Amino acid sequence: MNPAVRSWLPTAFTLCLCIPVMAQTAPSDKDLLTKTRGLYDAPFAGNLVSFDCAVQFDWEKHISDLLGTVPPGGMTLAEHLQPISHRVFVDRSGAFVSAQPKEPDLSEVAHGAEIEHAFSTMLSGGLNGWLPFARNIILPVGPTTYRFKKISTGYDVMLKGPNMDATLTLQSDMRLTKGLTVLPEVISFATTFIPGPNGYLLQSITTNPGTINEAIFSYTYQNVSDVQIPSQVTVTPASREVWRYSLTDCKVMRGVTVHVGPPR
């Protein structure tokens, strides 16, 4: 996107004065959006219908990382929570967590039920934070109008629509670096992407960076049936308690390709 400027020899310069100059047409907003959308790996914008995985989480390590040690009460809690198996099902509508084979009875475990609920919330929240990128709906879709504005480092993309007012910032290679929404609510975020076999993959997203409400989501990936889905997810909410879990034994379901984008 930033071609090098070449200095031509005087002869070439003289020659060009005799040839009609063809003005370069700037790419349209539609062309830029099509190009940008095609650079991202968005499996749920393609033929991925859903996937489900087993969840691996080390409670003893989590408590040790949080407290610096595992007190007797923490060890008792870990011993009750660790045997509980979880699976997570993810489709375009969200991530859904279930305990296997059934929801545990933690009524006799101090704080057990609330901590199990917090874990399920962080598990689904981490994947729901990734899902809009996996659907490619961070970029403009539907009735949203948009305009690409060239800036020194790439582009600003202004989005307007029903109850929507936002600006996205792209690098010159069209990687999204940050965004700010004014409507439906004020939210800012910063993102990093890494190259993947099928396009850019979300490595991390920080919401409300630099504020007391800052939350960080980061991802590594695994290839399952030629689909890139999260392998390890790390969620750091505003409380700064780090939740780190892995997805294993994943199964994917494919269907008809769905194209998400502006009307053609």
**Residue 24, in any domain of the structure:** no
Which string of DSSP letters, residue by residue, matches 29-40? HHHHHHHHHHTB
Sheet of strand 94-100: strand arrangement: 94-100, 85-91, 48-56, 243-254, 227-236, 215-224, 199-207, 187-196, 176-183, 164-171, 154-161, 145-151
Give the pLDDT confidence of 139-178 residue by residue, as tens digits: 988 788 999 999 999 999 999 988 889 999 999 999 999 9
**Residue 16, in any domain of the structure:** no
- Beta carbons within 10 angstroms of residue 37's beta carbon: 20
**Residue 1, in any domain of the structure:** no
Domain count, the chain: 1
pLDDT at residue 259, rounded to an integer: 52
**Residue 259, in any domain of the structure:** no
**Residue 11, in any domain of the structure:** no
Which among 119, 55, 123, 54 is positioned nearest to 94, based on CA atoms? 123
Range of the domain at 124: 29-254
Identity of the residue numbered 67: L
pTM to 2 decimals?
0.84
Tokens of 105: 């009875």
**Residue 15, in any domain of the structure:** no
**Residue 3, in any domain of the structure:** no
**Residue 20, in any domain of the structure:** no
Question: CB burial class (10 A; 0-12, 13-18, 19+) of residue 149?
Answer: exposed
Enumerate the β-bridge partners of residue 196.
199
Give the residue ranges of the chain where pLDDT is below 70. 1-26, 256-264
